[in-house]
């Protein structure tokens, strides 16, 4: 029996500590991990908790991130509650196995501390790794601050392990801006935290020797398509309602409310920025400041990135007149992901909103409040003109000559 840890109602934790405390409280059975900056402290803290008797679990040291996720897949298929963490190049090395985990319908929780992908080598936060994972069949939650990183882990386990869902889930947080930023985090007691998720109930586990099953089979043209279709079907029809239901349950349990799409002062807003991670909160502060000057502005944060909340986002943006899509990842050869997703979301809705794209914050480059005010000024001009007054894609915070496309 694991020891209980006494926590204060509010602990000053960075995002990494918040995530590892959640892993401890849900009593993860197996963590197979290969540490990489800036996610290292998550698995390091878990190992510390495990070594000091606060978790009845196993910490498996492996030789790479590919092996880390492979170990998680084995442990999950065997019938355990499983989690790990990674970032950046480590995430990239893990990609092959991510598809195995989702294809085998294994409810593994992966904490991704978002970081740039080199070259050039860079340890700081952007969303390149998060974007890389978006077709891998995982549920992807996005935290904007340490409190979110804590809460969303409990929610992720609850959703992923549901027998109707059985899909792995990532909990993303911004490298350094969340992972190494200490803020007040409202905690649950160990008992409360564990009880929200409950005991792990295995399904088709390999260690159930009375009911032998095969995992990781080969299917060629005869069955591969049906497998992938079922997986997609589960994400599209089961996961989203289950996430909403879990958000609702979590709000009842803790008073803290999460939404598939986080809309801040959007209801009567003319211009809105859509973004992810810490930028959402910074933009909320800018929205307050601009509203005090009478500007009808708002911010939309994507809380659940996969499955994409298409209908919910279309509803939120239906009356907006100009939208700025803010991508913290280089799309290398096209418009940003959020631009594309929002365009796809709005195309058949009859909207007349003007949509433009901003690439910002690569490799940890600061997104300042001044930048955001500039973007809202652009959007206002677009709204007044009824068409883009700027190039479709611009860079924010880039030194040297202004760079823009389309």
Partner 1 sequence: MLEIRWHSRAGQGAVTGAKGLADVVSTTGKHVQAFAFYGSAKRGAAMTAYNRVDDKIIMNHEKFMSPDYVLVIDPALVYIADFTAHEKENTVYIITTHLSTEELIASQPKLEGKKVFTVDCIKISQETIGKAIPNTPMLGALMKVSGMYEMDFFKENMIRVLKKLPQKIIDANMIAIQRAYDEVK
Q: Give me the residues that bind partner 1 (CB under 8 A), please.
A: 10, 12, 14, 37, 121, 123-124, 145, 174, 176-178, 180-184, 278-279, 281-282, 284-285, 366-370
- Residue 144 beta carbon to partner 1: minimum distance, rounded to whole angstroms: 8
Determine if the peptide bond prior to 70 is cis (ω within 30°): no
**What are φ and ψ of residue 123, in 5° steps?**
-95, -5
Closer residue to partner 1, CB minimum distance, 233 or 369: 369
The answer to whether the CB of 242 falls within 8 A of the CB of 162 is yes
Closer residue to partner 1, CB minimum distance, 161 or 174: 174
**How many angstroms separate the CA atoms of 78 and 370, rounded?**
52
Question: Which residues, 6 or more positions from 275, have their beta carbon under 8 angstroms from its beta carbon?
Answer: 283, 299, 300, 301, 302, 325, 326, 328, 338
Closer residue to partner 1, CB minimum distance, 10 or 236: 10
- Residue 391 beta carbon to partner 1: minimum distance, rounded to whole angstroms: 25
**How many angstroms separate the CA atoms of 304 and 52, rounded?**
34
Q: For helices 240-254 and 146-160, what crossing angle results, to 10°?
A: 130
The pair of structure tokens assigned to 175 is 């490298």
Q: From the centroid of its chain, how far is CA 360?
A: 18
Closer residue to partner 1, CB minimum distance, 203 or 373: 373
**What are φ and ψ of residue 50, in 5° steps?**
-65, -45
Closer residue to partner 1, CB minimum distance, 25 or 282: 282
Closer residue to partner 1, CB minimum distance, 295 or 368: 368
Closer residue to partner 1, CB minimum distance, 41 or 336: 41
- Residue 311 beta carbon to partner 1: minimum distance, rounded to whole angstroms: 28
- Residue 145 beta carbon to partner 1: minimum distance, rounded to whole angstroms: 8
- Residue 10 beta carbon to partner 1: minimum distance, rounded to whole angstroms: 6
- Residue 140 beta carbon to partner 1: minimum distance, rounded to whole angstroms: 20
Q: Buried b / exposed e across 54-77, counting CB within 10 Å, b at 16+? A: bbebebbebeebbbbbbbbbbbbb
Question: Which residues, 6 or more positions from 50, have their beta carbon under 8 angstroms from its beta carbon?
Answer: 31, 57, 58, 59
Q: Buried b / exposed e across 165-174, counting CB within 10 Å, b at 16+? A: bbbbbbbbbb
The pair of structure tokens assigned to 314 is 């279309």
- Residue 15 beta carbon to partner 1: minimum distance, rounded to whole angstroms: 10
């Amino acid at each position: 029996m694991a020891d209980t840890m006494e926590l204060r109602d509010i602990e000053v934790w960075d995002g990494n500590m918040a995530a590892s405390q959640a892993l401890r409280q849900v009593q993860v059975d197996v963590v197979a991990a290969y540490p990489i900056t800036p996610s290292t402290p998550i698995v390091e803290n878990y190992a510390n908790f495990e070594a000091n008797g606060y978790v009845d679990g196993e910490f498996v040291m492996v030789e790479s991130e590919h092996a880390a996720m492979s170990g998680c897949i084995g442990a999950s298929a065997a019938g355990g509650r499983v989690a790990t963490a990674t970032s950046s190049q480590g995430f990239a090395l893990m990609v092959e196995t991510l598809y195995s985990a989702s294809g085998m319908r294994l409810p593994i929780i992966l904490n991704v501390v978002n970081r740039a992908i080199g070259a050039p080598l860079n340890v700081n936060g952007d969303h390149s790794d998060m974007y890389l994972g978006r077709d891998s069949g995982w549920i992807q939650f996005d935290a904007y601050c340490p409190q979110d990183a804590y809460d969303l882990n409990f929610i992720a386990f609850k959703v992923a392990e549901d027998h109707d869902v059985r899909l792995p889930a990532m909990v993303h947080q911004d490298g350094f801006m969340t992972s190494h930023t200490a803020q007040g985090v409202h905690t649950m007691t160990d008992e409360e935290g564990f009880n929200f998720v409950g005991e792990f109930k295995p399904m088709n586990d390999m260690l159930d020797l009375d009911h032998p099953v095969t995992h990781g089979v080969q299917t060629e043209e005869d069955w591969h398509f049906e497998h992938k279709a079922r997986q997609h079907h589960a994400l599209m029809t089961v996961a989203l309602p289950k996430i909403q239901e879990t958000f609702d349950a979590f709000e009842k349990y803790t008073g803290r409310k999460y939404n598939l799409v986080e809309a801040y002062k959007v209801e009567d807003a003319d211009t809105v920025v859509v973004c992810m991670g810490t930028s959402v909160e910074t933009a909320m502060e800018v929205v307050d400041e601009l509203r005090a000057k009478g500007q009808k502005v708002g911010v939309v944060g994507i809380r659940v990135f996969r499955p994409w909340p298409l209908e919910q986002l279309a509803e939120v943006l239906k009356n907006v007149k100009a939208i700025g899509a803010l991508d913290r990842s280089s799309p290398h050869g096209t418009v940003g992901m959020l631009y594309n997703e929002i365009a796809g979301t709005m195309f058949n809705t009859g909207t007349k909103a003007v949509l433009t794209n901003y690439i910002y914050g690569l490799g940890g480059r600061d997104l300042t409040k001044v930048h955001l005010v500039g973007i809202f000024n652009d959007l206002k001009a677009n709204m007044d003109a009824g068409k883009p007054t700027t190039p479709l894609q611009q860079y924010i915070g880039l030194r040297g000559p202004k760079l823009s496309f389309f």
